[in-house]
Amino acid sequence: MRLKGRKAIITGAAAGIGFETARRFAAEGVQVVLSDIDGTAVDAAAGKIDGAIAITADVTDQGQIDRMVSGAIEAFGGLDIIVNNAGIPMLGTVETLAEADWDREIDVNLKSIYRTGRAVWPHFKSQGGGVILNTASIAGLLGSPGQASYGAAKAGVINLTRCMAIDGAAIPIRVNCICPGFIETPMVLAYLEGQDDPAASRAQVDAMHPLGGIGRPADIANGFVYLASDEASWVTGTALTIDGGLTAGI
């Protein structure tokens, strides 16, 4: 077990990448808190993982984030890892996107990492270290049509990761992120189903990945296991791209 005895919080953990990361962490010996804004769904998800607990929290509310962190520390007697996975899609160009939608996207996908960082930093500092992992996206590396706010938020996640890594290095608090390609999650599947021709859209997206097809949540969870482990003890400030080769060429 690569992470035996450690304690972690994973946000956006009711489904998709967050849930699979929680499942993989537990298999590696981690005591896991699954957190999500959907209390019913996250309770059900935690019930599928032995020893896991659920804490309902809205990542746009600092008070709820503070209670999530203190609740995890109280339940497990400590905290070593937080995975900031909560996120939402928001399609639109700067011409069509409402300002409220822009603000909501940045608030959930980017500012939430600032909030969790504020909440966990004093604890990590007092114990002499910790690990912060963030879900970014290839949309933060490449421009995409109709993804003005999503792309901006995810680009922000990548550079915030770097800045936090520098600020935490002396403690050390290691901070890294993963940039997934298209992953078979409820969010991506709903996006594909919303296209005029879902089957053609799925085929087009599959073809974008040289290794064949879109990825699985487990592909990203495996990356988070590595970044959380001692095998990555000299890794901080990195954006690990896991995308089936999508960004490797044109």
Active site residues: 150
Residue given tokens 């900031």 in the structure block: 84
- Interatomic CA distance for residues 26 and 12, integer angstroms: 16
* Complete DSSP assignment for 7-67: EEEESS-SSHHHHHHHHHHHHTT-EEEEEES-HHHHHHHHTTSTT-EEEE--TT-HHHHHH
- Interatomic CA distance for residues 233 and 229, integer angstroms: 7
3-state secondary structure of 126: helix
Cis check for the bond before 172: say yes or no (omega within 30 of 0): yes
- Interatomic CA distance for residues 240 and 223, integer angstroms: 8
194's CB contacts (< 8 A; 6+ apart) are none
Q: Which of 241, 239, 224, 237 is nearest to 81 (CA)?
A: 224
